[in-house]
Structure 1
């Protein structure tokens, strides 16, 4: 069996794992600091697990935005990001150079989407969206089971949608102010609520505006991506579980009767928490590692067949 490692590179925390898709054998977590220190620590962890042989491939599921196109000259590099010190950082190259093996790279939310699609809440779905609401707000999109890539990768957290009537909060996004990340990410909610979101009671009326904003996001995704499942993870949704049903209840009215199948009951089964919890991102990184190894082996098989 091939030896695979995964790195979930988050804006706040990095998780390094050893295992196989569907199984985590070793795990290490530490704070994400600067790019060199963080990647070196991840590489050292993987080296420490070598035992009798090095790893065969590594998958990196990283915060972004990232250049994921293999045709781009800056493939594997971080683009402009609010994470201090990371803009322009090489992400995939240092890992490949240090470990001498194939490296698969995608966003952390695309990685989590792959894991929930294969092992979790979106099994059997052709199309799905994985949202994470925490330090930031990100979204991974799978179409026919494959991550959506194009000009870049989906940047769902930075869309602007209709604001709740009377809401004058300017937003907390350094780039766009009142985009979705600027309205309902953890730091944005802390600014709006005046305290850490986990300290605000579930029945506090202050949650009404956040529920409105999330409902707008769900309606937009339903109308544009047409997902069979929207999986919502991250610390905000996990620590305030009332927020998801509050938002779902508002979606039918936003759709205005246009999609008759999107009843509140149907949406409650379609918009769900993750089944894999905190393992979704690391498990997705292991799937990316397996894919990178398969991509490397494919040309050799083609030549052998010729």
Structure 2
């Protein structure tokens, strides 16, 4: 049965109609401009698809902060954000004309559902998906269900130890300075080195610095959430060799504290790349929509 899926990212929106398994075959990418520019293009695509052949639910994975509790009045409403004109944008209002069931969550939550259901963590009971890009966010899935409280996890704002060799120890998070996002997000990397991480020489110290920060994050998540799988996605993680550097740094940090994670093989099974990158959020949105039909 056809569903519509929307992944609303900080740089672009992806929208498609189909089944979860085919949702990435035909999709449209729309730049994330202010809503007055982005929304008409999104609605035009959905109207044309619905006229061609009806879809029966809409799943949305969006950047946040985002209201994710269906019983609350702010469900599907974006909170205060630096993205121009998106603060207090309401997905339910924007999509009301279709009069269909809506499932709305964060883009990382949607990606976590995709990877735990069909992707690289499909055999795991407890997974954490982390995206490392313009921002850093995380989604937790336990027994194929999103695990969260009254708000979604804010992994990117955990405090970590600043590396003494960091030339930008103050970080750039406007709220916390040198939290994880302030030190290890894409904009932090660019401000520190003047280029993307993938543009640096493989032997540049920036690679090891980034691996150190992400390994700290993985250690914190491993010892608190006790996941079977940690999936690292997002644009920064497309840097060659970064995943292997994070794995190595984690093993060194753990220092045999938990012997089951001392071997290279064990850490490779724990920390994985997403199977559906860069479409994990779109696939997850489709899966969530399918659940409410």
TM-score, normalised relative to structure 2 = 0.94
List aligned pairs for 1:1-306, cutoff 5 A: 2-24=1-23, 25-95=25-95, 97-167=96-166, 168-238=168-238, 240-265=239-264, 266-293=266-293
Q: State the partner residue of 1:299.
A: none
Whether the 8 Å CA contact 1:60–1:92 is kept in 2: the answer is no
CA distance in 2, matches of 1:39, 1:68: 20
Asked whether the equivalents of residues 248 and 264 of structure 1 are also in contact (C-alpha less than 8 Å), the reply is no
Q: Which shows bigger deviation, 132-141 or 250-259?
A: 250-259
Instruction: Give deviations 1:105-146, integer Å, cap 9, x for gaps.
Output: 011011111111111100111110111111111111111211
Shift of 1:3: 2.0
Secondary structure of 1:152's counterpart equals coil
Query: Partner of 1:302 in structure 2?
Result: none
SS at match of 2:216: helix
Q: Distance in 1 between matches of 2:55 and 2:128?
A: 30
Q: Deviations over 1:191-222 (max 9, x none)?
A: 11122323211111222211110110010010
- C-alpha displacement of 1:223: 0.6
Does the CA contact (< 8 Å) of 1:77 and 1:90 recur in 2? yes
Conserved? CA contact 2:163–2:169, under 8 Å = no
**Alignment RMSD (CA, Å):** 1.5
What do the CA deviations read for 1:31-62 (whole angstroms, capped 9, x no partner)? 11112432332121111112454321110010
> Take 2:240 and 2:269, find their aligned partners in 1: how far apart are those partners?
15
Residues 211-220 or 145-154, more deviating: 145-154
Q: Which runs of 5+ in 1 are unaligned?
A: 294-306
**CA distance 1:264–1:184, change in 2 (3 Å):** farther
Give me the TM-score of the superposition, normalised by structure 1.
Answer: 0.90
Q: Would the alpha carbon gap of residues 62 and 22 (structure 1) be closer, same or farther in structure 2, given more than 3 Å must change?
A: same
Which deviates more from structure 2 when the two are superposed, residues 28-37 or residues 219-228?
28-37
Q: Distance in 2 between matches of 1:242 and 1:291?
A: 37
Alpha-carbon distance in 1 for matches of 2:268, 2:170? 31
Where do 5+ consecutive residues of structure 2 fail to align? none
**Count of residues in Structure 1 that have an aligned counterpart in Structure 2:** 290
Determine the structure 2 residue equivalent to 1:300: none
More displaced 10-residue stretch of structure 1: 38-47 or 227-236? 38-47
Per-residue CA deviations over 1:231-266 (Å, capped at 9, x if unaligned) read 11111111x121121121121332243211111411
Q: Is the 8 A contact 1:249 1:264 kept in 2?
A: no
1:110–1:141 contact (8 Å) kept in structure 2: yes
